Amino acid sequence: KQEVTQIPAALSVPEGENLVLNCSFTDSAIYNLQWFRQDPGKGLTSLLLIQSSQREQTSGRLNASLDKSSGRSTLYIAASQPGDSATYLCAVRAGTYKYIFGTGTRLKVLA
């Protein structure tokens, strides 16, 4: 059974710091992995989608990597800002309809 884990559950960093969020999954047979951002009381906003054949994706200050063989993905945020404060979720697509979500990392960037 596929399980997705995100560590740490919460993280506080000073503004300007580069940081890495971790996502691990137990079964390497995935179609893709998606990173989302969720603001309090809001829905999920897609940040990056990495297909199983890809190693990384970049969007602005965000870079996501995928290592299927080790069951890990990282989301790198460069030069963090207070506006980056949110919960970050990763999800693996394990079938046509089947997404398995981690429970998220709650990030706070201090001004």
Partner 1 sequence: IAGITQAPTSQILAAGRRMTLRCTQDMRHNAMYWYRQDLGLGLRLIHYSNTAGTTGKGEVPDGYSVSRANTDDFPLTLASAVPSQTSVYFCASRDTDRDTEAFFGQGTRLTVV
43 dihedral zone (left: phi>0; alpha: psi -120 to 50; beta): beta
> Of residues 25, 34, 68, 92, which one binds partner 1 by CB under 8 A?
34
DSSP, collapsed to helix, strand or coil, labels residue 14 as: strand
**Cα 100 → chain centroid:** 13
Return the number of the residue (11 or 13) whose C-beta is nearest partner 1.
11
> Of residues 11, 19, 49, 62, which one binds partner 1 by CB under 8 A?
49
* Residue 61 phi, psi dihedral angles, 5° rounding: -85, 0
Kindly give the pairing relationship between strand 32-38 and strand 86-93. antiparallel
40 binds partner 1 (CB under 8 A): no
91 binds partner 1 (CB under 8 A): yes
Tokens linked to 109: 């960037």
> Of residues 42, 55, 61, 108, which one binds partner 1 by CB under 8 A?
42
88 binds partner 1 (CB under 8 A): no
Distance CA 103, CA 87 (A): 9
43 binds partner 1 (CB under 8 A): yes
Return the number of the residue (80 or 90) whose C-beta is nearest partner 1.
90
Interacting residue ranges for partner 1, rule: CB under 8 A: 31-32, 34, 36, 41-46, 49, 51, 89, 91, 96-99, 101-104
